[in-house]
Structure 1
Amino acid sequence: METLLDTQRRLKSLLLMYLLVVKAAGDCPKPEGGNNTVLTNESLLMNVFPENVKVTLECSSGYIKESGSEFITCINNQWTESELICKKKDCGQPPPKPHMKFNTTGGTLFGALVKVTCEKGYQISGSSYKECYDQGWSGRASCEIVTCDKPAIANGNTSWDSGDDPEYNNTIRYTCHEGYTLIGNDTVVCDENGEYSPDQPVCNGMHDGNVDTVTDSGTVAAVVIGAVVLLGVIIGFILLHKFNMRRKGSYDTREDQKPGLLHFQNL
């Protein structure tokens, strides 16, 4: 009887060992993602991977499925080769916006950078680049029209009567008060750089007994020439005066009379 019980215990032990060996031989290690592929969240939560179990793969962030199966299977302690092929997501052309242009020479696939520019007379407000992310294009930007400072002219008026700043291509006209002369162009334009082209004019002249100083190059040259002429007249007068004084001195001293003539006069 004891021999029979001992034999049964040995058989149970051998059977248990066999089952453990078979089970260990059928389990697969935890799988990993492949080229641009990762395990789904459901597969990541699994702890054991027995024989014939299937797990699911999906494309990495920024990639989409091109072809192949999403499943791999545990067979003979090994995973079958993944057939899932993923390609980069294409964001396409960025959404159009008024007066905005995009340089897409670098492509529109996931990770690509696109430079944002504006039409002439407009400037970027926001990011000057967009990047293709998994959810689409990043970066916010808009093209705002260029403005110039409000025009102003002393002793005159402008045609600008709005409370807003002049915008690109707006034209401004200038006039002077009575008694003043406009120096420069009477019409200017707000250009693409936010400056007036040509420069704003000025009003010069006499008003209420006051003389405005004109500082243009022609006036400065005239003043210099006048000063040189006046200086020349003064120097000439001084030299002439000295010459006359020398002639008068020779008659008073009678240095040019000879001794013989003086003797004749004494007889």
Structure 2
Amino acid sequence: MEVLLDTCERRRVKHLLLIYLFVVKAAADCPKPQGTGNIVLTNEALLRNDFPDASSVTFECVNGYVQESGTGIITCVSGTWTEPDIVCIKRDCGPPKAKPNMSFNISDGTLFGAVIKVVCDKGYYVIGSSYKQCYSAGWTGRAKCEIVTCSAPVGVTNGKNNWDSSDEPKYGEIIHYDCDEGYTLVGNDDITCSETGEYDSQPPECKGVTTADRITTEMATPTTPIYTQEASTSTGPSTTRTAHRDKTMTTSQTTVPPSTKGGRGLLAPEDKATTASVTAPTSFQEKNDVANQDNGYIPVIISVVSISIAVLIVVLFLHKFVLKRKGSANGPFPI
């Protein structure tokens, strides 16, 4: 009986010791730590199942954030984890790499998650994505700016343009038009490829010039007759031919030699003659112009004649008045 009691006591003590060791061990281990905010456990810490007292694990920044300060290490102390000291901030992608004829609207910033817009220069358009976003690996989205082109210029009837390339005209290029001989260009002779992919004006037209248009143009442009004067030093008669439609009129002129003293030429009263010859206009338009110029002197001549007549009347009136005065002073009959 005594031996049996000793055996039972030993088993009881052994069970109590195991329970004690289990409780002490459980109280010393730490639970699995959890990440908060923008920090998470490293892959090595995630693979562990137990965290005994005095053990350590490491935190790191989540995707899109970078470690600014701290170590990220925490330690199990009597079943409790120490506070992490790591500080994580958003990744800054910085301005995108510059490309020809391209700029960016970065009003949203350049930090992780920001979205920016691709802007092409005037006369260019975006090929690819019009937006870029900042991710952990940098900017996403590919784009480039291509120059705007216009359709090939159309031809014009009775004319041509200077575009001889197989490529389409690009933004800013100018197409020049010319009309064939005998045709008039109506519209703009130059058209330019604009930033919209359209020309800034419609192609011109080449229209033929009618007889009525030519007459109108000639009437609108006056022709000034040409007068020529010829001086002769010979003493003999000279002959000047004046064209008048299909007839030729011959006039005899006598010229007098100039003064031997180097002054003006002196003409005797009996030898007065015309020393200049005038070539009559050879066209109907020129004749009308000469007639119109001659008509301009008629009012002046009439005015001079009128003034002369008025002066003569006044002189006669004064003369008659004087005669009357003399007659009254000397008697009934003037001397």
Q: TM-score range by the shorter chain?
A: 0.7 to 0.9
**Aligned partners of 1:167, 1:140: CA distance in 2, in Å?**
24
Using structure 2 for the length normalisation, give the TM-score.
Answer: 0.59
Question: 1:188 is matched with which residue?
Answer: 191
After TM superposition, list the pairs within 5 Å mapping 1:158-169 onto structure 2.
158-169=161-172
Question: 2:131 is matched with which residue?
Answer: 129
Matched, 1:109 2:111: yes
Q: How far apart are 1:179 and its partner, in Å?
A: 4.2
The answer as to whether partners of 1:106 and 1:112 remain within 8 angstroms in 2 is: yes
Question: 1:97 is matched with which residue?
Answer: 99
**Aligned partners of 2:207, 2:4: CA distance in 1, in Å?**
134
The answer as to whether partners of 1:125 and 1:144 remain within 8 angstroms in 2 is: yes
Question: 1:80 is matched with which residue?
Answer: 82
The answer as to whether partners of 1:172 and 1:187 remain within 8 angstroms in 2 is: yes
The structure with higher relative contact order (CA 8 Å, sep 6+) is: 1
**Aligned partners of 1:4, 1:140: CA distance in 2, in Å?**
85
**Aligned partners of 2:114, 2:203: CA distance in 1, in Å?**
46
Amino acid of the structure 2 residue aligned with 1:125: I
Amino acid of the structure 1 residue aligned with 2:55: V
The answer as to whether partners of 2:174 and 2:192 remain within 8 angstroms in 1 is: yes
Q: How far apart are 1:76 and its partner, in Å?
A: 2.0
The answer as to whether partners of 2:156 and 2:204 remain within 8 angstroms in 1 is: no
Amino acid of the structure 2 residue aligned with 1:54: S
From 176, 180, 187, the equivalent of 2:179 is 176
Paired residue secondary structure (2:167) = coil
Matched, 1:141 2:150: no
The answer as to whether partners of 1:153 and 1:201 remain within 8 angstroms in 2 is: no
Paired residue secondary structure (1:38) = strand
Tell me the C-alpha RMSD between the 2 structures: 1.7
The answer as to whether partners of 2:74 and 2:81 remain within 8 angstroms in 1 is: yes
Q: Deviations over 1:204-236 (max 9, x none)?
A: 338xxxxxxxxxxxxxxxxxxxxxxxxxxxxxx
Q: How far apart are 1:30 and its partner, in Å?
A: 1.8
Question: 2:67 is matched with which residue?
Answer: 65
**Aligned partners of 2:155, 2:141: CA distance in 1, in Å?**
42
Q: Deviations over 1:57-92 (max 9, x none)?
A: 110000000111211122222221111110000001
Paired residue secondary structure (2:178) = strand
**Aligned partners of 1:200, 1:17: CA distance in 2, in Å?**
102
Please say which of residues 179-188 and 56-65 is displaced more in the overlay.
179-188
Please say which of residues 29-38 and 162-171 is displaced more in the overlay.
29-38
**Aligned partners of 2:202, 2:85: CA distance in 1, in Å?**
70
Please say which of residues 172-181 and 38-47 is displaced more in the overlay.
172-181
Instruction: Structure 2: state its 5+ residue gaps.
Output: 210-335
**Aligned partners of 1:153, 1:93: CA distance in 2, in Å?**
47
Structure 1 runs (4+) greater than 6 angstroms displaced: none
Using structure 1 for the length normalisation, give the TM-score.
Answer: 0.74
Q: Which has the larger radius of gyration?
A: 2
The answer as to whether partners of 2:194 and 2:200 remain within 8 angstroms in 1 is: yes
Amino acid of the structure 1 residue aligned with 2:53: E
Question: 2:153 is matched with which residue?
Answer: 151
**Aligned partners of 1:57, 1:204: CA distance in 2, in Å?**
85
**Aligned partners of 1:177, 1:48: CA distance in 2, in Å?**
97
Q: How far apart are 1:39 and its partner, in Å?
A: 1.2
The answer as to whether partners of 2:173 and 2:193 remain within 8 angstroms in 1 is: yes
Identity percentage of aligned residues: 55
Q: How far apart are 1:108 and its partner, in Å?
A: 0.5
From 202, 205, 208, the equivalent of 1:205 is 208
The answer as to whether partners of 1:153 and 1:202 remain within 8 angstroms in 2 is: no
Please say which of residues 21-30 and 99-108 is displaced more in the overlay.
21-30
Q: How far apart are 1:11 and its partner, in Å?
A: 1.7
